[in-house]
Amino acid sequence: MLSLKQKKAIVTGGGSGIGRAVALLFAEQGAHVGVADFNEAQANEVVNEIKSKGGLASALIVNVAEQEQVIASFKSFGSINILVNSAGISHIGRVTTTSQEDFDRVYNVNVKGVYNCLYAALPVMKENGGGVILNMSSVAAVVGLNDRFAYSMSKGAVLAMTLSVAKDYIKDNIRCNCISPARVHTPFVDGFLKKNYPGQEAEMFEKLSKTQPIGRMGTPDEISKLVLYLCSDEASFITGTDYPIDGGFIRLNS
C-alpha cells in the first residue's frame, strides 16, 4: 500500500518544512526524490539524510520564480512521475500595508513558481503516459484571514490552477489535486514568532495553536501523509479536488 517504487518525484521547497517531510516520506516509500529548493545547504542536507537511509535522492538547486532555471533543473532530473509544488513564502499585511514589491515577491514564488513547475513537468508527464501533481494551497484560499491579503491571493490562484490543470489533462492520465493546510508548525512559524514577538514566543505560539478548533497546529509529518496518499496509485480515482487538512478550521470556526 502507498508504495512509490519505480517512481520519480520532484518536491519543490523540499529543503525544509512540509516539503522536507514529503521528500523524506516519499523516499521511504521507494521513490527517487528530486529535492528542489533555493537553499542549496538545506536541499543537500535532506538528500544526504535520504541517502543515509538507503534511499534515492538528488538535489535540484532552483529558484522556482525563474522559468529557465526550472526547465533546466527538471530536465536534468529526467522522467517525472510525481510533482509536489510545496515551495512558497508568506506575507503579513492587508491591501494598504502591502507594497508593490511585497505583492510581486509573493506572486513570483507562490503563483508564477507553481506555473513554472507545471509548465516544465506537464509535457514530460504527458510523454510518459501520465503522472500526478499535488499543489500546496491553504485555508487562506477559501476563508478570510486577517492581514493575509497577498498570501490569500496566491493560494486562491493555486486552487484555481489545480482545477484548470485537472480538467485540461484528465485525458492524458494526469491527476492534479491540492491540499489546504491550516497552521502547521514549521521553521517559518518559529522565525515569525522570534521576529515579531521576542520574549513572548511561547505565549504567542499557544495563542496561534488555539485558533484551530482541534487546539494545536498540525505537523509537517501529518501533512506529508495526506500528500503521499493523493500521489499514490491508491488515489487513482481522485483528481480536481482540494483537501483541507486544518484541525477543523474551515468548518468548525463559523
| Phi, psi dihedral angles at 91 (to 5 degrees) | -160, 140
Catalytic option among 115, 119, 151, 197: 151
pTM of the model: 0.96
151 is catalytic: yes
- Cell numbers of 185, please? 508548525
Among the listed residues 84, 35, 27, the one whose alpha carbon sits nearest the alpha carbon of residue 52? 27
Is the pLDDT at 178 greater than 70? The verdict is yes
Q: What confidence tens digit (pLDDT) does each residue in 101-159 have?
A: 999 999 999 999 999 999 999 999 999 999 999 999 999 999 999 999 999 999 999 99
Closest CA to 128 of 84, 70, 168, 81: 81
Q: Which tens digits make up the pLDDT trace of 195-231?
A: 889 999 999 999 999 989 999 999 999 999 999 999 9
Place of cell 490543470: 165
- CB-side exposure of 92: number of CA atoms within 13 Å? 6
Which of 4, 2, 77 lies closest to 36, judged by CA? 77
Q: Return the beta strands (E) in 87-182 as ranges.
A: 131-136, 174-181
DSSP per residue over 141-154, as a string?
GTS--TTBHHHHHH
Express the helix, strand and coil content of the chain in percent, nearest 5 each.
Answer: 50, 15, 30
Instruction: Provide, rounded to the nearest whole percent, the portion of the chain with pLDDT above 90.
Output: 95
Q: In degrees rounded to 5, what are phi and psi of residue 204?
A: -70, -35
A 10 A CB-CB count for 14 gives 33
- HSE (CB half, 13 Å, CA atoms) of 39? 14
The rounded distance, in Å, linking the Cα atoms of 234 and 254 is 33
pLDDT score of 191: 87
Nine cell digits for residue 131: 503522472
Locate the domains of the chain by residue range: 8-182+219-246, 185-217
At 254, the pLDDT band (50, 70, 90 cuts) reads: low
CATH topology of domain 8-182+219-246: Rossmann fold (3.40.50)
**Residues 141-165, buried b or exposed e (16+ Cβ, 10 A)?**
bebeeeebbbbbbbbbbbbebbbeb
The average confidence (pLDDT) of the chain is 96
For residue 12, the surrounding DSSP H or E stretch is: strand 8-12
- Check if the beta carbon of residue 21 is closer than 8 Å to that of residue 43: no
**The dihedral sign for the CA sequence 115, 120, 121, 123:** positive
